[in-house]
Every structure is written in C-alpha cells, then in structure tokens.
Amino acid sequence: MKTLIALVAFLFLNITGVYAQCAMCRATLENNVSNGDPGIAAGINIGIMYLFFAPYVAVGAVAFFWYKTTKSNARKELERRPVLR
C-alpha cells in the first residue's frame, strides 16, 4: 500500500505540460482565437473533456454495478443461512 501511495504521489508531482495536438488542429484553433472567434476552440475543448471523462464514467458504472451485485448476493446469502441459537 505504501508503494502504491508513493507511486501515485510521484506521478502527480512530476506533471509536465503535454502538447499532443496535431499541427492542423493547433494552427486552426490559434488562427480562430486570434481572430476573435473562440467557438471552434470551445468545441474542441468540450470534445477533449468528453474523451477525458468517458473512461472514468465507464469504470464508475462497472464499479457501481459490481458493488450493487455483491451487496445483493451477500444479503441473499445471509437470508439463506439458518439462525443458530
């Protein structure tokens, strides 16, 4: 557990800027923003946020249904056991 915490802390402390845009997209966005039209840039940013959050939503949904199923199965198992007195 300590190793995991140290790894996560290391990864968060060493964040650097990443420029992972294609040259065409970057040139178009810079041109539009410099001309006073931020509409396309806002659309690209919304698309990036959608792509960023989609995996987290998917993993969260799987975790939710796993938790719900596990809790339901545990409740059913407790109901099946006879009460010993």
What is the C-alpha separation between 62 and 40, in angstroms, rounded? 33
What is the C-alpha separation between 76 and 85, in angstroms, rounded? 20
Say yes or no to pLDDT of 79 above 90: no
Say yes or no to pLDDT of 18 above 90: no
What is the C-alpha separation between 67 and 61, in angstroms, rounded? 10
pLDDT confidence tier of residue 21, bands split at 50, 70 and 90: low
Q: What is the pLDDT of residues 27-57, one digit of tens each?
A: 777 888 888 877 777 777 787 788 888 899 9
Say yes or no to pLDDT of 19 above 70: no
- Residue at 71: amino acid letter: K
Angle, vertex CA 6, rays to CA 4 and CA 7, nearest 5: 65
33: nearest Cα among 49, 44, 48, 46: 44
Q: What ranges do the domains of the chain cover?
A: 23-85
How much is the mean pLDDT over the chain?
82
